[in-house]
Copies of this chain bind each other. A is one copy, B any other.
Amino acid sequence: MSTPVFAPPGDKHELETGVLFSPRFDKDGLLPAIATDARTNDVLMMAWMNEQALALTIETGIAHYWSRSRNQLWKKGETSGNTQKIIELRTDCDQDVLLMKVEPQGIGAACHMGYKSCFFRILPTGKTPDDKLELEMCEDAPMFDPKEVYGKK
């Protein structure tokens, strides 16, 4: 997949008001993609797609990302079984973010830590911002043990 798949971004007016899908990848060739649970509307995760991952997501209807830490294409849930079936795909006003409504497959844990959502910790508000702010857990126990699913790390 060496030639660009998608239309190159047009000018600001075209991007914001036109009908042509022309995703704006950043200087590293990546685009943030937010996955929400189609049933509850909860945000499950945010990860990154390159052009290949986005093309595969559209083609297969299953979320694919680009792993920045592993530097490789990442079919979400390939190891854990917790894949994400695409129900709806949107882009934002200037076409540099994607929003996906997904139907979580498997046991439905989006986070590699075993939680349903990666956003399992709250930062209490009304505090003075400093270097001692503490997070609070806001999800139940993990749905799987990462060590069992991915092996010891």
**Identity of the chain B residue whose Cβ is nearest the Cβ of A133 in the assembled complex:** B21
Q: For the complex, give the distance between the alpha carbons of A66 and B99 in Å.
A: 21
A93-B122 CB under 8 A given contacts A21-B135, A43-B43:
no
For the complex, is A4 an interface residue (Cβ under 8 Å from B)? yes
Is B90 within 8 A of A123, CB to CB?
Answer: yes
**Identity of the chain B residue whose Cβ is nearest the Cβ of A97 in the assembled complex:** B46
Pick 13 A–B contacts, CB within 8 A, sort by A: A5-B129, A6-B129, A6-B130, A16-B113, A21-B133, A41-B41, A46-B92, A89-B125, A90-B120, A91-B119, A91-B121, A93-B111, A99-B119
Q: Report the interface size class on chain A.
A: 35 or more
Q: For the complex, give the distance between the alpha carbons of A91 and B28 in Å.
A: 23
**Identity of the chain B residue whose Cβ is nearest the Cβ of A33 in the assembled complex:** B46
Instruction: Give chain A interface residues in 89-124, CB to chain B under 8 Å.
Output: 89-93, 97, 99, 111-113, 115, 118-123
Q: For the complex, give the distance between the alpha carbons of A83 and B53 in Å.
A: 34
Is A19 within 8 A of B111, CB to CB?
Answer: no
Q: For the complex, give the distance between the alpha carbons of A43 and B99 in Å.
A: 8
Max chain B Cβ within 10 angstroms of own Cβ: one of A17, A112, A123 = A123
A20-B92 CB under 8 A given contacts A42-B41, A61-B125:
no
Q: Please, which residues of chain B bring their CB within 8 A of the CB of A16?
A: 113
